[in-house]
Amino acid sequence: MNKVLILAFVLLTVNVMANQKQPFNESANWAKQTAKNMLEPNQIPLDVNDYCQDATCRAKVINPDETSLNDGNMETKAAQAFAASDFAQGIRKNTNKKRPDFRHDESLRYALLGQENAFEISHGQSNKYVNCERDTQCLFDDVEKTCHAPTHTPVPCYKTPRFTPEIIAPSYQCDAGQLTGHRCLRYRNECRYSSRDRWIVSHQCQSATRNYGLWNGNMVRAPFFKGRLRTTRSTPCERGGATASFTSYDICRQVAYYIPATPVCPAGYSLSGNQCVKNHVDWRVECTLIKACQPLSQRCIEGAASRMINGVATYLPCWKYEVRHECDLPDNCGQYAECKEDKRECSLKQNGVCIEEKVTHTCTKKTCRTMTLNCGEQSFCLDGECYDPLPTLNRHFDQSAAALAALGEAAKGLGDPPNIFSGEPMQCSKKAASIANCCRDSGWGTDAGLVTCNEEEKALIRAKDKGLTLYVGEYCAEKILGACLRKKRSYCAYDSRLGKIIQEQGAINQLGKTLGSAESPTCPALTPEELGQINFDRIDFSEFYPELHSRIHLPDPNVIKQRIQNSLSGEAN
């Protein structure tokens, strides 16, 4: 017990003297003398009562609390004291703490740099890790870097003709006869021959010649006239040597009748049924690619032929072209030319063809920090926080938020089977001879002709106005004599702009999927696997940004500032 009190006294004295800032040499001499005295305790006058301020303290010295301890309660008391002591809990916390991870703790790694390069720093020598001239330390790590490179693989699309008929009424003409409306008026001879129907020419003895006709037994003359000779009889007269004759003929008259007039079309038009039709052709490419993909060349894959289009024989030297597109995408992999290439994977598809690859490299990254290095001296300082990083504004919030919103929307369609971004097939009609256009692209409620549209067509127009539809195609739904009287257009309608954008730019443009045919649109949903193949970095969500901004409610900066001030003032109190 005496040795413990002596040691406590020595330490207390050392601390008091250190606080008085005594010179180092004087303190060192005092410490040496004290250590010598510890070897001779009898030379140190010690009275415990001198360190007690009151009677309670002196009573504790004479009869300490520890006298109540025994083998039965000592462990329990020790555990209670250990749990109540802040110092003991601090020791336990730091004893159980895991060893620091030097490989990933940047501050520790910089500290180790100072330790490992202490000789260079103390002698003012620079190397790749420490630079005495610039007061910097540098770490070198193998890091994974990715870049994107174009594949320069041609993307095939197909160009087909689309015909728009121009229809006018024909003019009419007659090869013979008189044109009356759409008919030709003509006349033909109607002839009869019987006892009651004939034409008679008779020469009687001593009488004048008689020339007349019988029609239904009645004597007639013009406009009836004699036709083909039928019979003739001659009888000699009794006097004068003359001869009496009786000759009969067919009796005929002209009867009016009508035949259809011949329809005639102007130059450049062809007759189809009772209409003149001229087909106007324009060419349509059946796939929509990103702007970076431009036509390179084309070749005919369906040759010359004559086909019936809108009831008219139409000739084209080529009916279908394959158009090869080249996609001019940026290549940012040159910056990693000195790195090791690890793998390549497709990052962007157009019409099912990979046009861009994501390339993964392993590069050596050099990270330097400005430190306070006292090069050339016996000691140096490492504070580890020698720069003040400035916050930068994230300019990709819209793109990131839109992509997250798309994934959130897709999650609603997960199920068995999945129904991610499926569309509703919808159709509208457009009649050739009607003023009603139920397939108009916009302007709901501004055309009186829309009152004839059915409920599905009205709903389709509203969906178009909201930008929720994708066009599938057009086909003839009703024909008469080869002429199309009613056409139908097919669309896919989606519940949200996000669904339409993902289907158009992801499923169709990147994965090469289709929405079905004009006659049978399918508007299929995406599978989770297909959704994972879409590169969201290549999708333009700008059409969705206004809707996104209208839903975002950012907190008031002044309110946040006031909360921080209130919190700080509360801690100060």
> Which strands form 424-431's sheet, in the order they lie side by side?
424-431, 483-493, 469-480
User: How far is it, in rounded angstroms, from Cα 161 to Cα 257?
Assistant: 47
pLDDT at 399: 64
CB atoms near residue 517 (< 10 Å)? 12
* 378 CA to centre of own chain: 64
CA atoms within 13 Å, Cβ hemisphere of 322: 9
Q: Is the dihedral of CA 504, 505, 509, 511 positive or negative?
A: negative
DSSP at 284: E
Label residue 389 by pLDDT band (50, 70, 90): very low
Question: Is residue 474 classed exposed, middle or buried when 0-12, 13-18 and 19+ CB atoms within 10 A define those classes?
Answer: middle
pLDDT above 90: percentage of residues in the chain: 33
CA atoms within 13 Å, Cβ hemisphere of 289: 27
pLDDT at 15: 47
Label residue 41 by pLDDT band (50, 70, 90): low
Packing angle of the helix pair 86-96, 74-84 (nearest 10 deg) = 80
Q: Is the dihedral of CA 169, 173, 174, 180 positive or negative?
A: positive
Quote the tokens at residue 238: 């009794």
Q: Is the pLDDT of residue 288 over 80?
A: yes
User: How far is it, in rounded angstroms, from Cα 500 to Cα 472?
Assistant: 13
pLDDT in tens, 297-326: 999 999 999 999 988 999 999 999 999 999
Looking at per-residue confidence, does 391 or 511 come out higher?
511
Q: Is the pLDDT of residue 382 over 70?
A: no
Q: Is the pLDDT of residue 12 over 50?
A: no
Average pLDDT, the chain: 80
Average pLDDT over residues 77-100: 76
Residue 512 region, left (φ>0) first, then alpha (ψ -120 to 50), else beta?
A: left
The closest of 88, 241, 263, 256 to 168, measured between CA atoms, is 263
pLDDT at 390: 44
Region of poorest pLDDT, from 67-76, 160-169, 549-558: 549-558
End-to-end Cα spacing for the chain:
45
DSSP at 417: S
pLDDT at 323: 95
CA atoms within 13 Å, Cβ hemisphere of 557: 0
Q: Is the pLDDT of residue 222 over 50?
A: yes
Partners of 158 in the β-ladder = 322
Q: In 3-state terms, what secondary structure has residue 71?
A: coil
Given the DSSP bridges, would you call strands 183-192 and 243-260 parallel, antiparallel or unpaired? antiparallel
Q: Is the pLDDT of residue 22 over 80?
A: no
pLDDT in tens, 422-436: 899 999 988 766 666
User: How far is it, in rounded angstroms, from Cα 133 to Cα 318?
Assistant: 74
User: How far is it, in rounded angstroms, from Cα 192 to Cα 17?
Assistant: 163
Phi, psi of 6 (to 5 degrees): -65, -45
Q: Is the pLDDT of residue 18 over 90?
A: no
Q: Is the pLDDT of residue 381 over 60?
A: no
Radius of gyration of the CA atoms of the chain, in A: 55
User: How far is it, in rounded angstroms, from Cα 381 to Cα 118?
Assistant: 11
* Helix or strand holding residue 458 (H, E): helix 455-465
Please give the single-letter amino acid code of residue 127.
N
Cis before residue 417, ω within 30 degrees of 0?
yes
Phi, psi of 559 (to 5 degrees): -65, -45
pLDDT at 164: 92
E strand spans, 451-540: 469-480, 483-493
Given the DSSP bridges, would you call strands 340-350 and 262-264 parallel, antiparallel or unpaired? unpaired
Looking at per-residue confidence, does 565 or 60 come out higher?
60
Average pLDDT over residues 538-565: 74
> What's the pTM?
0.42
The closest of 333, 335, 383, 338 to 358, measured between CA atoms, is 333
pLDDT in tens, 241-284: 678 888 999 999 988 889 999 999 999 899 988 899 999 999 99
